[in-house]
Amino acid sequence: MKLRSKLAVTCAKWTSTFIRKLNRGSGVTLPGYIARIIDPGILTTMSEMVREKTIVTMGTNGKTTTNSILYHALKAEGKKVIINRTGANMLNGIISAFVLATDRHGNLDADYACIEVDEIASVRVLPQLKPDCALLTNISRDQLDRFGEVDITFQKLKTAIRSVPSCKLVINCDDVLSYTLAAESKNPYLTYGISEQIFDDISRSEIRESIFCRSCGKKLEYEFFHYGQLGIYHCPHCGLKRPTPDFTATDVVLRGEVYSFRIQELQIDSTARTPYNIYNTLSAYTALQALEAPETHFKETIESFDYGNNRESIFTIHGARVQLHLAKNPIGFQQKISLVLKDPKPKDVIIQINDTYQDGEDVSWLWDVDFQYLADANTATITTNGTRRHDMGLRLKYEDIPCDSTTDLKATLKKLTRDGTKNLYVIVNYSGLYRTNRLLTELAAQTAQ
């Protein structure tokens, strides 16, 4: 490693240590910025130290979970793996993941790198990282003030992928946008998809990002939708159609609250509580095949895998069962509503909506979610919270669904867990996730004493 790169790594590590000692954060973004200022080529230098392969995971929904599955699957094979596990998926956070993993001599000891990449950041990250494989989960709306409509995301991803022409793609071919992107990029690719209908009517909803053929502009015809625009499609005008996937999941069965399914010869009894996580598992398996990586322990990895990633957690507080769920865009929120509807027991629901930069300051996407299903969810109470709690309340009012609002989440949690149905769902968007998780963890610990 050249002297400039060593200096960049050293200063980044000092910065991270200083931040953590001052308790000013986790120290996983600023160190990357410092390293990049000192050595603009530091990411390329670091990535070239990875002995075997680097894979990036991108897409609107599911990339954090999918990236984590890949990490755990490779670790189970005895591989040393770099990951930006905190979800710091912009350029500086990705650089931090590499430089902070080096030893005291600035050397990286890694067989693989599993890196989650923000779709907009991909244009800057991929040319420097030069991944061997890029996994794309799906393309849909997310944070309209950052991403705009899906066409902008589509073009950003296509530009990024074309900058690494030898990179092999792993594509969800049930998503016409992702499949079209693969065809237009000219990169080699493998596809995955699910050919049986496993999503219920609530999950499917009417949220469609594109139902028009991107080749000829005519309206696509669908055999069925999974959710959003994902499904079995074909164009009656030019002949574009959803291909037979290279890898698929079959025999999907909901057993109690979790799913079992088959991928190739593997019968998996997973801990997945939503069918969306079957997609995440399938995409990770396909990526391992694309990397020609070992996967002899994949079944055991999945059957013990925690799909929550702090984004789906269960707590016991005052004898109440409390579930915390992240929902940050229309597709994700629709999946959570479906989960709530699958539970026939009486329940209380808290919905927290914030509008920080992390969340997206434009919350108009709330009007794309089919909240009317909550009217039949056997809810005793619904309470809104967060900086945009009144927007959420107005959205529910348009569905004639009564709700309260609160600015004191802790007090509300205490009240509902003591005096409520003992079955509480807390649904939050991004900025409230970790704060709410810490709060629920503290309350659970206090009531357990």
* pLDDT one-digit tens code per residue, 15-50: 988 887 777 656 678 899 999 999 999 999 999 999
Contact 396, 403 (CB under 8 A): yes
Cα–Cα distance for residue pair 414/416, rounded to 1 Å: 6
- Count of beta carbons in the 10 Å neighbourhood of residue 375: 12
| Per-residue confidence (pLDDT) for residue 217, from 0 to 100 | 86
CA angle, 257 then 258 then 259, to 5°:
140
- The structure's pTM equals 0.84
Percent with pLDDT over 70 in the chain? 94
pLDDT at 367 over 50: yes
Cα–Cα distance for residue pair 59/56, rounded to 1 Å: 10
Tens digits of residue pLDDT in 282-324 = 999 999 999 999 999 999 999 999 887 667 889 999 999 999 9
| Per-residue confidence (pLDDT) for residue 205, from 0 to 100 | 62
Cα–Cα distance for residue pair 83/68, rounded to 1 Å: 8
For residue 6, give every residue at least 6 positions away whose Cβ sits within 8 Å of its Cβ, in sequence order, or none.
106
Give the mean pLDDT of the chain: 90
Provide the greatest CA pair distance for the chain: 66
Continuous segment of H or E residues that includes residue 122: helix 122-129
**DSSP 8-state code for residue 374:** G
| Per-residue confidence (pLDDT) for residue 86, from 0 to 100 | 65
| Residue 413 phi, psi dihedral angles, 5° rounding | -60, -45
Which residues in 53-155 belong to E strands, given as ranges? 53-58, 81-83, 112-116, 133-136
Cα–Cα distance for residue pair 20/440, rounded to 1 Å: 23
Burial class (CB in 10 A: 0-12, 13-18, 19+), 448: exposed
Pair type for strands 53-58 and 112-116: parallel
- The closest alpha carbon to 174, from 142, 205, 145, 210, belongs to 210
Tens digits of residue pLDDT in 198-238 = 887 766 666 566 778 888 888 999 999 888 789 999 999 99
- The closest alpha carbon to 86, from 72, 78, 96, belongs to 96
| Tokens 């071919």, located at residue | 173
Pair type for strands 133-136 and 189-193: unpaired
**Counting runs of H as helices and runs of E as strands, what totals does the chain give?**
16, 17
Helices (H), 269-348: 276-291, 298-303, 330-342
Domain 312-448 class in CATH: alpha beta
Q: Tell me the pLDDT band of 145, cut-offs 50, 70 and 90.
A: very low
DSSP, residue by residue, 354-416: --STTT-S--GGGGGS-GGGGGGS-EEEEEEESTTHHHHHHHHHTTT---EE-S-HHHHHHHH
Cα–Cα distance for residue pair 91/68, rounded to 1 Å: 19
Residue ranges covered by each domain of the chain: 3-303, 312-448
Answer whether CATH 3.40.50.460 is correct for domain 3-303.
Answer: no
